[in-house]
Copies of this chain bind each other. A is one copy, B any other.
Amino acid sequence: MIHMATIYEVSKLAGVSLATVSRVMNNNTPVRESTRKKVLAAMEQLGYRPNSIAQSLASNCSNSVGILVSELHGPFYGAMLTGIEAEFRAAGKHVIIAAGHSELATEQEGIEFLQSRSCDALILHVEAVSDDYLIKLAQTDTPFVLLNRQIPALADRCISLNNELGGYLATQHLLAQGHRDIAYIAGPMWKTDAKERYQGHQRALADYQLVANPALFFEGDFRETGGSKGLSAILATGLPFTALVCGNDEMASGALTAARELGLSVPDSFSVVGFDNVNFAYYTYPKLSTIDYPISAMGQMAARWVLREVYRSATVEVQQLFEPHFIPRDSVKACSPT
């Protein structure tokens, strides 16, 4: 065990008080230049490294932020963590992670676990805990910001995607390519995401004086099986359609596989658009046209919220609603409007 120099040793070597060493280190009070140089030289000679735990205790600021996400794997969460970590790293704050697995008990426990570390703030991507729980949490002494969760009572601390616009863009692209009979496989309609994406789909149709045909609608589960079942159900109606919008990429992938198994060729038989631009969307055959979701930027913005609200360091405006954009790939082909 190599001995770590303390602030006391630096002060003795530099011939100044502890307080002056602290002032030099934190650069928060004027120090005469000649004194500063003596202190810095002593620090360098001793290889001094401040004990951040002692700093945290004395200053009542841990310089760390807890992040609770549903999972640590998957393109969504990877991008989120990347955005968050990079922003905090640049600001010298440490990021502590925990996974909530979208389970009520695990999420709550995870929040408490992070609180127990005296994190200065939390960034939460949680699904299972109730709005009430979060409203109560907002009354405790732990500041937090929510990612991809909308709670009106906590509006100033919610950062999310404009799902309605994403649904609109997905369908609008098909309409602009001449498609008029557009089938839709939705996520679970109790989920706000799924509902808003479908609303955007409806709005795009309305722009063309069209109405969604309920027979060309299937409520899926946001999983691959929802996509394959949805496509089978829609095909079973015997109704014509030239394009399919899926509420997320995983269901789109399921639909692609099902189509292939039924001897249907995408986009020749019908075009497909997904949502999320998860990384596998690029590897499907055909490569999937989809809606991109700037999750890394959203994570970054959550970090900025914390830097602004808790650390008072950011001066930049925090954007709370993010806009998706359309990623054209190979799964859409134009057709003549009927």
Contact = CB atoms under 8 A, between A and B. Distances in A.
Interface of A: 1-2, 4, 49-54, 56-57, 62, 64, 71-75, 77-79, 81-82, 85-86, 89, 92, 94-99, 110, 113-118, 140-141, 253, 256, 260, 279-280, 282-285
Give the 3 A-B CB pairs with smallest separation, nearest first.
A73-B78, A285-B285, A280-B280
Given A77-B78, A279-B280, A64 B97 contact: no
A89 B97 CA distance: 10
A96 B64 contact: yes
Contact of A2 (B53, B54, B57, B141): B141
A170 to B, nearest CB: 19
B1 A141 contact: yes
A121 to B, nearest CB: 14
A79 B71 CA distance: 10
Contact of A96 (B92, B95, B110, B253): B95
Contacts of A89: 98-99, 110, 113
A72 B85 contact: yes
A72 B62 contact: no
A118 B85 contact: no
A77 B73 CA distance: 7
A266 to B, nearest CB: 11
A4 B52 CA distance: 22
Nearest to A54: B57
A71 B113 CA distance: 25
Given A85-B98, A89-B98, A97-B97, 11 more contacts: A52-B116, A53-B53, A53-B62, A54-B57, A57-B57, A72-B85, A89-B113, A94-B96, A279-B279, A279-B280, A284-B284
A82 B72 contact: yes
A57 to B, nearest CB: 5
A52 B78 CA distance: 28
